[in-house]
Amino acid sequence: MTLYHVHMSLARNEEYPNGSPAHGYDLVLPLDAEMKLDPEAWKAHSKECTVRRFWEGEPDQKGLLRHIGRGWAIDYDASTPEADEPFFKLDRHEFKPGEYLSVQEQDGEMQTFRIVTVEPLKK
């Protein structure tokens, strides 16, 4: 099992027709041989599976990747039972540069992000 650092930036949308490298997420998560999320490895390393949300003009937010019900989400506040930002079918995606992932942000809006880099985590 290897933990990976995944860097994603905002994909093009109405507000940012060329996307935006100043808006996105850095994820640390375990990937299997097919470059998909490894849920069993996540169970053993859940405290290491961190998320950083960076958004131009706002302070960074730091949280953990959590499995909630049948899905995956970002949890910025471990003291509350609900997660803050659910991913859209995170467990079905291949983590490769150029692929896309969607996150439902705290304002309820679904945003799409492009995976820029996927690299084994440096120890």
Say whether 86 sits in a helix, a strand or coil: strand
Given a cut of 80, whether residue 81 has pLDDT beyond it is: no
Write down the pLDDT at residue 77: 84
Write down the pLDDT at residue 102: 93
CA 119 centroid distance within chain: 14
Write down the pLDDT at residue 108: 83
Kindly indicate the confidence band of residue 119, based on its pLDDT and cuts at 50, 70 and 90.
Answer: very high
End-to-end CA gap in the chain: 13
| CA–CA separation, 4 and 115 (whole Å) | 13
The pTM assigned to this predicted structure is 0.92
Average of per-residue pLDDT values in the chain:
91
